[in-house]
Amino acid sequence: MGIELQYLLPIITISFFVVTAIVFDALLQNKIFSFVWSIIGLIVVIGTASYTFVIPSLELMNLSKEGLITKNMVFFGGYASFFDIVFAGAGLMTILASRVYIKREYKELNEYYSLILITVSGMMLIGHSNNLLILFIGIEIMSISFYVLAGYFRNSIKSIEASLKYFLLGSFATGFLVYGIALLYGATGSLDLNIITSNLIAGKFNHIYFLLGSGLILIGLSFKVAAFPFHQWAPDVYQGSPTVASGFMSSAGKAAAMIAFIIVFKHILPAVNNPVLIKDTHLIQNIIAVLAACTMLLGNFTALAQTNVKRMLAYSSVAHAGYLLIGIASNNSTGWTGVLFYSVAYILMQLGAFIVLSVIERNEQSNLELSDFAGLSRSHPILAALMAVFMLSLAGIPPFAGFFGKYYLFVSAVKADYVWLTIVAVISSIISMYYYIGIILQMYFKDPRSVALEADYGLARIPLFIAVAGLVIFGVFPSLLADVAYYFF
Amino acid sequence: MAILLTILFLPLAGAFLLMLVNKKEAKVIQYTALAISLATFVISFSLMAHFDSNNPNFQFIVNIEWIKQFDAGFRIGVDGMSLLLVMLTAFIAPITILSSFSAIEKRQKEYYVMILILQFAMTGVFISLDIFLFYIFWEIILIPMYFIIGIWGGKDRLYATVKFFIFTVVGSLFMLVAIVWLGSYVGGTVLHNDAGFTTNFMVIQHALDNQPIPLDIQKWIFLAFALSFCIKVPLFPFHTWLPDAHTEAPTPGSVVLAAVLLKMGTYGLIRFNLDLFPQASFYYAPIISTLAVVGIVYGALVAMVQTDMKRLVAYSSVSHLGFVVLGIFSMTVEGIQGGIIQMVNHGLSTGMLFLLVGMIYERRHTRDIAEFGGIARVMPAFTVFFSIAMFASVGLPGLNGFVGEFLTLFGAFNSPFLNNWSYTIVATSGVIFAAVYLLWMFQRVMFGANTNPQNHALKDISKREWALLVPMVVFIVWIGVYPSTFMKVSENSTKALVNKLYEKKFGYKPYALPASTQQKANIKN
């Protein structure tokens, strides 16, 4: 039990800090304290998660599953710990970048920081879930705090619209998800993912309900990652929400939903020699592959037509959901590891790009048109260089981490005989080049606009530095990340 | 080995060094960049000196583990073919930088950083022995080149640079799919290694030698690689980015584009397409050769009607690179050797033509042929250099162009793979057209009456410009008079490749090679 508690430390610490943060918000009414407390909280979580990473996992193997106080509902160590670190890190970057931005654009409220903490706890729970119920709870904790975060600028119509839209459509998607979970329970007789897998392998499942259930879960999760054809909410929500928060939602939120994808589909699509199951597995894989292909093409084509950079990045985040789905469609360990690698790279580059936007944004979303970026390299050379790195990485140009993530996913697709999916991905990448390098073109090749933009960094310097350093380091030495991720699946 | 690593990383280290210098210190930046590129050039001589030209295999091999899961390593090395191109890169880089002193006036720090990164990546392309690494270098080149054309280019630079970028990316991303497929096929299906994947070039080469890819798939993989390389060469009809990029790029950008970047395409055709996919190469050789011949004639005809000198030289590149591709796909020793030496030649003579056009542009701020006439009277030394570069480009015996063109045509004529004389006959007309458009341009610019008052007081070339042009002339004459210094370097590597191709097609090896066991030993580690 002692060891189990050690493994639970990240969850325990984040819960502790969430609860205390809420209490302190109400009692102390001190913004600086809330800010610092949430930062301390996330750093402690990163520390405890790193600790679970290094304590020997063999000891866990010796525990009998029945003896666990969590009744095998929670997954420990491995990718879960890894994502604890990633999500807490993303939360930390968001909080550091947010303060100066929300103070300037609206006003700083204590709850903002607690909300980020709650979101991170939901994301972490998704990574730790070994049971569909825990997974559902995690997704809901995350989503509900996102709905609130989206409407944080409560005087702004756009922000309210984003929040309401997100809430209505998100709840609708949750309905699909729950229904799917219920059907899957009906089909296989369990909510425990490992038992579901063994029942599937043993052939103890209802074929129709299994397909229906997986299909509904697929729909529910596709909503959460904003995959075609359930992506319509994404551009409006990402555009209307506070910029740093939408960076957080569209990067870490998407990564968390992708982890849910991995956890569910890894277990319900096992590689076995059961002819019925193989047929179903291929069917579901093919559906996901088609969704991935449509998502990539649609996201990139629509992004091409945007003139507002924030909206463009929102559409590009739809396209990136498509790239990530390649790894799920491949349904092999290379694919899952690829999703993991790409998620980290994607969080760094997407969040980084949104932080850059937040630095130059003024008066509710002005200064975010493409033409506002003209000549940015003259007035703010460092900011322009950072943005250029994020764009090149998003476009998948080496030597940045985004490229290697794509390579990983392409390899997984080819190994799973999805060469056509790779070709679609490549074609959509070519399309995306045009608008990514379009931003660089504005920043470097055009003359500056008459009124120079002001840049207000505040603490955003730190997350920007982390993002750019991460992209370069993981791009040049991808093994640092890939070798760690390799043993998870 | 250390020499190769130094040649690769010295420019990159220089780029980082320059980033630390205050941007107001323009002189310091210029001379530091020049010193670094000169040092690289000097060091590259020791590569030449230690190179064993009897050995057809890769030498100076460095093999460092990099990404274990995909068996991608930091693997570099050179054989005869790549050595010449590495030398060419090392030679052109200081020339480019020296010519930038006058051509580049704004944002100098960024510029020299970009040029040095470009040199790093170009060298990397030629020495990579890992396809993944090759791809990385191939793509890195886009970034500095995009900025060089986009920031320091001419009037329509935005259009030109985006076009350049998109064209290249279209080709290279399909190549990426082929690389992934190839790695998965060789690592998973053929070798069953731990990673189920490999991008180790020598391992792939060896594996495909024993167990070629089924022809129907091989054709697709061949096409994916060939598309990328043919866009870069550029082979007709993928050439449309080239005139725009050349015209809009600053002079040093054009020099480096013509002299080195285009060679990456032809190098890739030899290194990957011929070597890894011989059966598909036999199948596609007539088509690609036809395109090459069309490119030769088309490029020459279009060059003839240009009014802008730089655009004329750009189209002449399309024509000249056609000879290289024709030589390569003749798959004979003469043809491939001619192709390789023609790559070097084109780098020298066209690079020099771009330099000269750039010099006159700096004086007059126009490249319109009609604006000039009778320049020979005011700029005699310039005219002499121009005539040397022009005659080299035309293919006058005694200068370098003749050697390359003759060998490629000879190879195509004798090729048992193409087995058709008509390629050579039509291609030869390209030589005549080249004489027409270059001599005609020369006559209109240099001779006649100097009627335009703006041309009366043009200054002849300066000391710095002498320093740029003389080394190029030395090599132009050297290759023209005594080509075997350079031919000898790549001869055995070429023979080994041709042996392989003959063996696959006709079942015998026409050339005896010095026995060597080095390659096998290297595959193991």
Interface pTM (ipTM) of the complex?
Answer: 0.91
- Which residues in chain A have Cβ-Cβ distances shorter than 8 Å to B139? 397-398, 403
Mean pLDDT computed over A371-395 = 90
Interchain contact, A414 vs B139, CB within 8 Å: no
- Which residues in chain B have Cβ-Cβ distances shorter than 8 Å to A437? 146, 162, 165
> pLDDT by residue (tens digit) across B193-238?
888 888 989 889 888 888 888 999 999 999 999 999 999 988 888 9
Domain annotation covers residue B90: no
- Enter the tokens of residue B163: 């076009």
Quote the number of domains for chain B. Answer: 1
Of B68, B139, B146, the CB nearest to A483: B68
- Enter the tokens of residue B387: 């005539």
Q: Which residues of B389-422 are buried (b: 16+ CB within 10 A; e: fewer)?
A: bbbbbbbbeebbbbbbbbbbbbbbbbbebbeeee
Domain annotation covers residue B241: no
The number of angstroms, rounded, from the C-alpha of A30 to the middle of its chain's C-alpha atoms is 30
- Low-confidence winner among A216-225, A447-456, B142-151, B267-276 (lowest mean pLDDT): A447-456
Distance from CA of B171 to the nearest CA of A (A): 10
pLDDT at B155: 84
> pLDDT by residue (tens digit) across A61-94?
555 566 677 778 888 878 888 999 999 999 999 9
pLDDT at B524: 42
Residue tagged 């999916």 (tokens)? A421
Q: Which residues of A191-216 are buried (b: 16+ CB within 10 A; e: fewer)?
A: bbbebbbebbeeeebeeebbebbbbb
> pLDDT by residue (tens digit) across B107-162?
888 899 999 999 999 999 999 999 999 999 999 999 999 999 988 888 888 899 99
Based on the number of CB atoms within 10 Å of its own CB, is A122 exposed (0-12), middle (13-18) or buried (19 or more)?
Answer: buried
pLDDT at A302: 92
> pLDDT by residue (tens digit) across A336-364?
999 999 999 999 999 999 999 999 888 77
> Would you call A430 an interface residue with chain B, using a CB distance cutoff of 8 Å?
yes
Q: What number of other Cβ atoms are within 10 A of residue A440's Cβ?
A: 24
> Would you call A399 an interface residue with chain B, using a CB distance cutoff of 8 Å?
yes
> pLDDT by residue (tens digit) across B40-69?
999 988 888 888 888 888 888 888 888 888
For residue B194, give the amino acid letter: D
Q: Is the pLDDT reported for residue A19 higher than 90? A: yes
Q: Is the pLDDT reported for residue B369 higher than 60? A: yes
Q: Is the pLDDT reported for residue B184 higher than 50? A: yes
The answer for B 16-75 residues in CB contact with A (under 8 A) is: 66-70
Q: Chain B interface, mutation test: which of A341, A415, A483, A486, most B Cβ atoms within 10 Å?
A: A415
Domain annotation covers residue B322: yes
> pLDDT by residue (tens digit) across B427-443?
888 888 888 898 888 88
Q: What phi and psi, each to the nearest 5 degrees, are found at residue A356?
A: -60, -45
Give the span between the Cα atoms of A419 and A398, in whole angstroms.
22
Q: Is the pLDDT reported for residue B101 higher than 60? A: yes
B235 phi-psi bin (left φ>0, alpha ψ -120 to 50, beta other): beta
Q: CB pairs below 8 Å between A and B: how many?
A: 84
Report chain A's mean pLDDT, rounded to a whole number: 88
How sure is the predictor about B516, in pLDDT bands with cuts at 50, 70 and 90? low
Integer Rg of chain A from CA: 22
Interchain contact, A433 vs B169, CB within 8 Å: yes
How sure is the predictor about A157, in pLDDT bands with cuts at 50, 70 and 90? confident
Q: Is the pLDDT reported for residue B525 higher than 70? A: no
Q: How far is CA A276 from CA A210, A269, A438, in A?
A: 11, 12, 49
Q: What number of other Cβ atoms are within 10 A of residue B80's Cβ?
A: 29
Q: Is the pLDDT reported for residue B375 higher than 90? A: no
Q: Which of A169, A314, A291, A303 is nearest to A239 (CA)?
A: A314
Give the span between the Cα atoms of B422 and A102, in whole angstroms.
73
Where do the domains of chain A lie?
2-488
Q: Chain B interface, mutation test: which of A379, A403, A430, A477, most B Cβ atoms within 10 Å?
A: A430
> pLDDT by residue (tens digit) across A164-192?
999 999 998 999 999 999 999 999 888 98
- Which residues in chain A have Cβ-Cβ distances shorter than 8 Å to B197? 411, 415
Range of the domain at B326: 287-511
Nearest CA in chain B to A401: B136
Q: CA torsion angle for A216, A217, A222, A225 (degrees, to 10)?
A: 160
pLDDT at B521: 44
Nearest CA in chain B to A385: B110
Mean pLDDT computed over B303-325 = 90
Q: How far is CA B522 from CA B59, B73, B77, B190, B210, in A?
A: 10, 14, 11, 19, 17
Give the span between the Cα atoms of B283 and B213, in whole angstroms.
14
How sure is the predictor about A109, in pLDDT bands with cuts at 50, 70 and 90? confident
pLDDT at B523: 47
pLDDT at B397: 86
Give the span between the Cα atoms of A371 and A390, in whole angstroms.
18
Count Cα atoms within 13 angstroms, Cβ side, for A357: 33
Count Cα atoms within 13 angstroms, Cβ side, for A288: 32
Based on the number of CB atoms within 10 Å of its own CB, is A377 exposed (0-12), middle (13-18) or buried (19 or more)?
Answer: buried
- Which residues in chain B have Cβ-Cβ distances shorter than 8 Å to A429? 169, 173
- Which residues in chain B have Cβ-Cβ distances shorter than 8 Å to A478? 67
Domain annotation covers residue B377: yes
Mean pLDDT computed over B475-500 = 89
pLDDT at B517: 45
> pLDDT by residue (tens digit) across A122-139?
999 999 998 999 999 999
> Would you call B173 an interface residue with chain A, using a CB distance cutoff of 8 Å?
yes
Mean pLDDT computed over B384-391 = 91
pTM value surpassing 0.90: yes
- Which residues in chain B have Cβ-Cβ distances shorter than 8 Å to A445? 150-151, 157-158, 161
> Would you call A426 an interface residue with chain B, using a CB distance cutoff of 8 Å?
yes
- Which residues in chain A have Cβ-Cβ distances shorter than 8 Å to B136? 398-399, 403
Interchain contact, B180 vs A410, CB within 8 Å: yes
Domain annotation covers residue B220: no
Give the span between the Cα atoms of B4 and B82, in whole angstroms.
12
Mean pLDDT computed over A256-280 = 86
CB A284 within 8 A of CB A216: no
> pLDDT by residue (tens digit) across A192-216?
888 898 888 888 888 889 999 999 9
Q: Is the pLDDT reported for residue B514 higher than 80? A: no
